[in-house]
A = this chain, B = another copy of it.
């Protein structure tokens, strides 16, 4: 397998990106194609023992930063590592593209400038693969479409279910709609209309779920609009970091609790590990015609390696073909 990696993706690039590529090449034996400024990537690679690893470099003279506007970055920086990497997927020179870079730019470059949409896809979706200590859940859309329509959510459900099955290995994934109440009939107009559509699809649609059920692993695929999904993900992240901050402050406030904190530290670390997004690494952009995995800007080497693992799973499962076929079936029901 050949996986193209944006060496200029993470906030601290190219260090964590290159280090992650080295880890992945060693662990999985795949070819990792590093895309970025050749000199900087080579200098970074020189810091690692890369003997026997399949690492290649493809030069890209431009890089997209987190502060670049997605639309402008898509248009003006045609020689960016993102454009270059996605074009490698398009031409078949790579099986997947992985980036920890600007999510909005990745979406625009994939959708408008390089890979384009899979046929019949109305709107691509950003997804998040999340783990709340128990099961893995794929949620989509988490931000590509701030305003959604029921027919978009219908497709998100189909794409999410196919991804869960073919890339995440869930046999008969339970699909649910994120809502403000479990009962049928609850939710916004969008949720109610989407529920009516989802119940007619050949999916294991289990109805509405509230946030607490999402966190208990009640569903494998959670469908929502990009505004709500974004608020959900960011609220969960913000709550975790607020709680860890408060706990740390309180533990440090006296000697006894501080001693307790030191002793309990391995437990804290394990608990954090179980919800750490770096363990997942990244999640697919669904609906574009190629495997694109987007990780967090704050990715470290381990997160980059895990994002590459997500890409491998998607490629092995042939998930793009599964989505193509799935959408044709829904667009032309027998």
- Residues on A close to B: CB < 8 A? 132-133, 143, 146-147, 178, 180, 186-189, 191, 210-212, 214-216, 226-228, 230-232, 234-243, 245-247, 249-251, 253-254, 256-257, 259-268, 270-271, 274-275
Contacts and interface: CB of A to CB of B under 8 A. Distances in A.
Contacts of A235: 211, 231-232, 235-236, 239
A244 to B, nearest CB: 8
Nearest to A133: B246
Contacts of A263: 256-257, 259-261, 263-264
Contacts of A256: 263, 266
A249 B210 CA distance: 23
Contacts of A236: 235, 238-239
Contacts of A253: 267, 270
Nearest to A187: B146
Contacts of A188: 146-147, 227
Given A215-B239, A231-B231, 18 more contacts: A180-B226, A180-B227, A180-B230, A191-B227, A211-B235, A212-B238, A215-B238, A228-B228, A235-B235, A242-B275, A247-B267, A249-B271, A250-B271, A251-B267, A260-B264, A260-B265, A261-B263, A261-B267
Contacts of A245: 133
Contacts of A212: 234, 237-238, 241
Contact of A133 (B180, B230, B242): B242
Contacts of A210: 234, 238
A223 to B, nearest CB: 13
A240 B247 CA distance: 12
Contacts of A254: 267
A251 B263 CA distance: 10
A185 to B, nearest CB: 11
A236 to B, nearest CB: 5
A251 B239 contact: no
Interface centre among A210, A231, A236, A256 (most CB of B within 10 A): A231
Interface centre among A236, A254, A256, A271 (most CB of B within 10 A): A271
B242 A132 contact: yes
B242 A143 contact: no
Contacts of A143: 180
Contacts of A237: 211-212
A228 B188 CA distance: 10
Contacts of A242: 132-133, 215-216, 275
Scoring A147, A216, A235, A238 by chain B CB atoms within 10 A of each residue's CB, the highest score goes to A235
Contacts of A257: 263-267
Contacts of A216: 242
B178 A243 contact: no
A268 B240 contact: no
Contacts of A214: 238
17 contacts: A133-B246, A147-B188, A210-B234, A211-B231, A215-B238, A215-B242, A239-B243, A242-B275, A246-B271, A246-B274, A247-B267, A250-B274, A254-B267, A257-B263, A257-B264, A260-B261, A261-B263
A216 B146 CA distance: 24
